[in-house]
């Protein structure tokens, strides 16, 4: 299936393929794989086929309750990073204004958006903050599990970590996101 989905901080509208048939309602939240990593998107509509090179990524699934909880945690992380960044900008009297930040759903990337000249000092600041927040929250380690599942045969009763059994992946908040 092919879908139109809005993703990212600035609402990029793109074309996404889905390897499975999903029952989607206009405006529902979905998880997509883009060039930036896993991102939360908003489903807009489905449509016919398009050329292979025209895809902006894959629509993986409708957001689950576990995804929503992770999104809330990511939002808290992002807000803390914004406050820290603003504090450092003021302390160092950097010639920029922080407009916003955006963190991918897999936690691999934390982007800062500024008005003003991006000097090497500003670039170093954002790199340091991104590394600090990754090391504090350990999202990059979790991101691989989020994207690939919790182990061999994830989503089946033969799974290494028991995600096909009662309780299974719920221990790693991925039960509904496991690959079948």
* Tokens 């600041």 belong to residue: 125
Q: Which of 1-5, 93-97, 139-143 has the lowest mean pLDDT?
A: 139-143
Phi then psi for 149, rounded to 5 degrees?
100, 180
Span 11-34, pLDDT tens digits: 899 999 987 888 899 999 999 999
Which pLDDT score is estimated for 16? 93
Closest by CA position to 92, among listed 131, 110, 113, 119: 119
Helices (H), 18-113: 65-92
Per-residue pLDDT, 68: 93
Structure tokens given for 74? 């990511």
What's the rounded Cα separation, in Å, for the pair 97 and 161? 46
Burial category of 112 from C-beta neighbours within 10 Å (exposed 0-12, middle 13-18, buried 19 and up): buried
Higher pLDDT, 142 or 134: 134
Q: Where are the beta strands (DSSP E) in 18-176?
A: 29-34, 37-47, 57-62, 96-103, 110-116
Write the pLDDT tens digit of every residue in 95-125.
Answer: 899 998 888 998 888 888 888 888 898 888 8
Rounded mean pLDDT of the chain? 78
**Torsion 38-104-37-170 (CA) sign:** negative
**What is the CB-side half-sphere exposure of residue 59 using CA atoms within 13 A?**
30
For residues 29 and 41, the answer to whether their CB atoms sit within 8 Å is yes
pLDDT of 42 above 50: yes
**Within a 10 A sphere around the Cβ of 166, how many other Cβ atoms?**
6
How far is Cα 43 from Cα 100, in angstroms, rounded to an integer? 23
Q: Tell me what the mean pLDDT of segment 83-100 comes to.
A: 90
pTM of the model: 0.69
* Arithmetic mean of pLDDT, 73-77: 88
Decide: 57 and 3 in contact? Cβ < 8 Å: no
pLDDT for position 23 = 87
pLDDT at 52: 63
Please check the confidence at residue 147 and state whether its pLDDT lies above 80: no
Binning pLDDT at 50, 70 and 90, where does residue 168 land?
Answer: very low
Tell me which H or E stretch contains 133: helix 120-137
């Amino acid at each position: 299936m092919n879908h139109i989905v809005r993703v990212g901080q600035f609402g990029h509208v793109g074309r996404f393929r889905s390897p499975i048939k999903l029952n989607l309602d206009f405006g529902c939240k979905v998880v997509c794989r883009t060039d930036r990593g896993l991102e939360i998107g908003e489903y807009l509509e489905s449509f016919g086929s398009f050329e292979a090179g025209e895809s902006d990524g894959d629509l993986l699934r409708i957001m689950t309750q576990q995804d929503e909880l992770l999104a809330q945690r990511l939002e808290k992380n992002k807000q803390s990073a914004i406050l820290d960044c603003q504090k450092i900008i003021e302390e160092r009297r950097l010639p920029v204004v922080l407009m916003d930040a955006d963190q991918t759903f897999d936690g691999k990337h934390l982007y800062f958006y500024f008005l003003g000249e991006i000097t090497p000092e500003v670039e170093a600041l954002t790199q340091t903050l991104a590394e600090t927040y990754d090391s504090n929250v350990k999202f990059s380690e979790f991101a691989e599990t989020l994207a690939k599942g919790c182990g061999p045969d994830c989503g089946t009763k033969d799974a290494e970590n028991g995600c096909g059994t009662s309780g299974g992946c719920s221990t790693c908040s991925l039960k509904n996101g496991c690959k079948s």
